[in-house]
Chain A
Amino acid sequence: MKFTWFHLMPWRFLANDFREKHRSVWVDLPRTMYDPKIGHRLYNDYLDQLEFADQMGFDGIGVNEHHQNAYGMMPSPNLMAAALTRRTRNANLVVLGNSIALYNPPIRVAEEFAMLDVMSGGRLIAGFPVGTSMDTNFCYGQVPATLREKYYEAHDLIIKAWKAKDVFAFNGKFTQLRYVNVWPRPVQEPHPPVWIPGGGSVETYDFCADHDYQYSFLSYFGYIAGKKVADGYWEVMAKRGKPLNPYSMGFIQTVAIAETDAQAEKDYAQHMDYFYNRCLHVYNGFADAPGYRTVKTIKAGLLGQVGDLAEMLRQGLKWKDFIEKGYVIAGSPKTVREQLRHAMKELNCGHLMLLLQMGSMPPWLVRKNTELFAKEVMPYMRDLWKEWEDKWSPKRMPQNEISVPPEVPFHRAPTNGRVKAAAASAEARSAK
Chain B
Amino acid sequence: MKTTVKVLDGKFDIEMLTVGSGEPLLFLHNSFGLLPAEPFLDELGKDFKVYAPHFPGYGDSTGGQHIYDIFDAALFYHQLMDELGLESANIMGHAMGGMLAAEIAALDPHRAKKLVLAAPEGFWIDSAPCPDLFAAMPADLAHLLFFSTEFPMAKMMSTLPTDNDVLQTIYVERAKRFATAGKLVWPLPDRGLKKRAYRIKAPTLLLWGEADRMVPPVYAKEFSSRIKNSKTEIIKQAGHMLMYEQPEAFVSAVKKFLKG
Chain A: residues with CB nearer than 8 A to chain B? 137-138, 141, 143-146, 173, 283-286, 289-291, 293, 295, 298-299
Contact = CB atoms under 8 A, between A and B. Distances in A.
B176 interface: yes
A143 B186 contact: yes
B16 to A, nearest CB: 23
30 contacts: A141-B186, A141-B187, A143-B182, A143-B183, A143-B186, A144-B134, A144-B182, A144-B186, A145-B179, A145-B183, A146-B68, A284-B137, A285-B134, A285-B135, A285-B137, A289-B178, A289-B182, A289-B186, A290-B134, A290-B176, A290-B177, A290-B181, A291-B179, A291-B180, A291-B182, A293-B175, A295-B172, A298-B168, A298-B172, A299-B172
Nearest to A283: B135
Nearest to B132: A285
Interface centre among A145, A283, A298 (most CB of B within 10 A): A145
Contacts of B171: 298
Interface string B228-240: 0000000000000
A143 B191 CA distance: 13
Nearest to B179: A291
B136 interface: yes
A298 B135 contact: no
A291 B172 CA distance: 9
Instruction: Determine chain B's interface SS by DSSP, over half rule.
Output: helix
Contacts of A299: 168, 172
B174 interface: yes
Given A144-B134, A290-B176, A291-B178, 20 more contacts: A137-B186, A141-B187, A143-B183, A143-B186, A145-B179, A145-B182, A283-B135, A284-B137, A285-B132, A286-B135, A289-B135, A289-B186, A290-B178, A290-B181, A291-B182, A295-B176, A298-B171, A298-B175, A299-B168, A299-B172
A293 B181 CA distance: 15
Contacts of B168: 298-299
Contacts of B134: 137, 144, 285, 289-290
Contacts of A138: 135
A57 B248 CA distance: 75
Contacts of A285: 132, 134-137
Nearest to B134: A289
Contacts of A289: 134-135, 178, 182, 186
Contacts of A145: 179-180, 182-183
A283 B132 CA distance: 13
A284 B219 CA distance: 29
Contacts of B186: 137, 141, 143-144, 289
